[in-house]
Chains A and B, each alone.
Chain A
Amino acid sequence: MGQSAKAAIVGVAESDLGRTPDKTVLQLQAQAASAALADAGLQFQDVEALFCAGNWAWSPNLMLAEYLGIQPKYTDTTNIGGSSFEAHIGHALAGIEAGLFNVALITYGSTQRSDRGRNRAHSAFRLTEQYEGSFGLPTPVGAYALAAMRHMFEYGTTSEQLAEVAVATRKWATLNEKAMMRDPITIEDVLNSRWIAEPLHLLDCCLVTDGGGAVVVASASRATHTRKAPIWILGHGEAHTHNTIANMPDLATHRAALASGQAAFAMAGLTPAEIDVAEIYDSFTITVILTLEALGFCGRGEGGSFVSGQRTAPGGPFPMNTNGGGLSYCHPGMYGIFLLIEATRQLRGECGPRQVEGARLALAHGTGGVLSSAATVILGKD
């Protein structure tokens, strides 16, 4: 399987998660990077390329590289929201294929829960923000609510179907000791939780946590000399379609994911039916339904019925968001790096009680902004 792959994920780690009031974003990333490099059996001196996305410095890579004591010869601060890290995988793969470097470090860290950074007030609505900001839409949740309402209108998707995603994801979280929310919930619990932005209830929404993560990518020649079996990067695709929600071409179709998914499957030479485990960005329950349709796991408008009957829960036919997802495990603002970490661990067979038996092919899909950007990564093991 990996014979034709040019690069692999060779190390993954989280930092402390949940609430880390005594930690800075630099500390969280140093902690995750050290652990991911140790996981790979590599050193900081081996890192030639740095990939990072954050809004905590005017140039996050300059500050982080200095703090970590590395001097990368390739650097990428691509920030397209929560999908940035899946995009970084593709960019690292391209750089490796071009012969520019052999080892790349991807990091993320956020202290948004401790900072309450999500609720930062604007002083002014600048540039294209000025046409939307003054209406007071709570973002990002309000934008996803607008998409959910349209999806319900076009396809008859129900609140119960959205709740299926939250309930199944919580079941996975009960099997992950690192997950923040581990008490089982029911469909009724989701429907009875308070409205945030109709039709989304509180339990349709991801957590707001602190946390960080890191992923180490290596060229094929280097990957075969690391500590664990390489998890090959078989396919990648990315796209973005809009920035402001009023400019989303079709609120009931995740067109960015449609494009990124098609590219990733084409590159891998695989079809959705061949994927053993899927890690799908779940900022909100509707995000998952739109993404499953766009990636071709089900037909357009069929996402609601696809997730019904707890099909994505442990023991179900479609294992999805096996760490408990952004809905129940952690969600420090931009969640995409954790999709890669979990997909890698599943393929390595490191997931203990939540292990998907025999998983050989995994898909990690990030969504960023207000359904604005998407990046899809398909991984496999030998």
Chain B
Amino acid sequence: MPVQFPQPSIDSDSQVYWEGLAQGELRIQHCASCLRHVFYPRVLCPHCHSDRLSWITATGKGTIYSYTIAHQAFGPYADEVPFIIAIVELAEGVRMMTRIVGAPREQVTIGAAVHVTFTPVGEGVTLPYFQLIA
């Protein structure tokens, strides 16, 4: 039986984000009131609560804030272990969860520089994975 991966339920907060990933752009929001970046997308700035949010394309560069190697996972992800999951802090200052791919485990460290790599995972969904910057 084919493994069924749950799909993100795209909504009016997230549509621009997911469309960007499919086009090879990492889109986040920027607040015109407090000048901070915002991720995940929403209708008000979580810092100053202004609604003056607009979309920008992030540089796609950042550093690993923390990571773990999953040796046990649930549902359809169980067959993929071990895999590396990280929280990356983008150059724009926001953090996001991701996977670190294409790197030996020993080279993955907190503070390591990474850049986004757009990875189609099926069903029309593209995810923002990250790779180490050599």
A residues sitting closer than 8 Å to B (CB atoms) are 118-119, 121-128, 130-138, 141-142, 145-147, 149-150, 153, 194-200, 244-247, 251
* A149 in contact with B8 (CB, 8 Å): no
* Cα(A119)–Cα(B72), bound, Å: 11
Which residues of B (9-28) have their CB < 8 Å from a CB of A? Answer: 9-11, 14
Q: Is the CB of A197 within 8 A of B72?
A: yes
Is A246's CB under 8 angstroms from B69's CB? Answer: no
Decide if B76 is an interface residue (CB 8 Å cutoff).
yes
B67 within 8 A of A: yes
Bound complex: CA of A142 vs CA of B66, how far in Å?
Answer: 11
For the complex of A and B, 9 pairs with smallest distance between CB atoms: A136-B77, A130-B8, A145-B68, A195-B71, A121-B75, A150-B66, A122-B6, A198-B69, A131-B40
Task: State in angstroms the CA–CA spacing of A132 and B77 once bound together.
Answer: 13
Report the tally of A-B residue pairs with Cβ distances under 8 A.
115
With known contacts A122-B6, A153-B110, A146–B75 Cβ distance under 8 A: no
Contact flag A251-B6 (CB < 8 Å), given A131-B40, A136-B80, A138-B74: no
Nearest CB in chain A to that of B41: its residue:
A131
Bound-state CA distance A138–B65 (Å) is 18
A323 to chain B, nearest CB (A): 27
B residues at A contact (CB < 8 Å): 4-11, 14, 39-40, 65-77, 80, 82-83, 85, 87, 95-99, 110-111, 121, 125, 127
Point out the residue from B9, B66, B97, B98 that lies within 8 Å of A147, measured CB to CB.
Answer: B66
- Chosen A-B contacts, 11 in total, with CB atoms closer than 8 Å, are A121-B4, A131-B97, A134-B5, A136-B80, A137-B73, A138-B72, A142-B68, A142-B85, A149-B110, A198-B69, A198-B71
Which of these, B66, B72, B77, contacts A146 with CB under 8 Å?
A: B66
Chain B, Cβ-Cβ closest to A121: B75
Given contact pairs A150-B65, A251-B87, A133 touches B6 in the complex (Cβ within 8 A): yes
| A195-B121 in contact given A136-B85, A137-B97 (Cβ < 8 Å) | no
The CA-CA distance from A201 to B105 in the complex, in Å, is: 17
Which residues of A sit under 8 angstroms from B11, Cβ to Cβ?
A: 127, 130
Chain A residues with CB below 8 A from B77, complex form: 136, 138
Chain B residues within an 8 Å CB radius of A118:
74
Residue from B4, B14, B73 whose CB has the most chain A CB atoms within 10 Å? B73
A125 close to B9 (CB less than 8 A): yes
Find out whether the CB atom of B66 lies under 8 angstroms from the CB atom of A197.
no
Smallest CB separation, A226 vs chain B (Å): 44
Q: Is the CB of B70 within 8 A of A251?
A: no
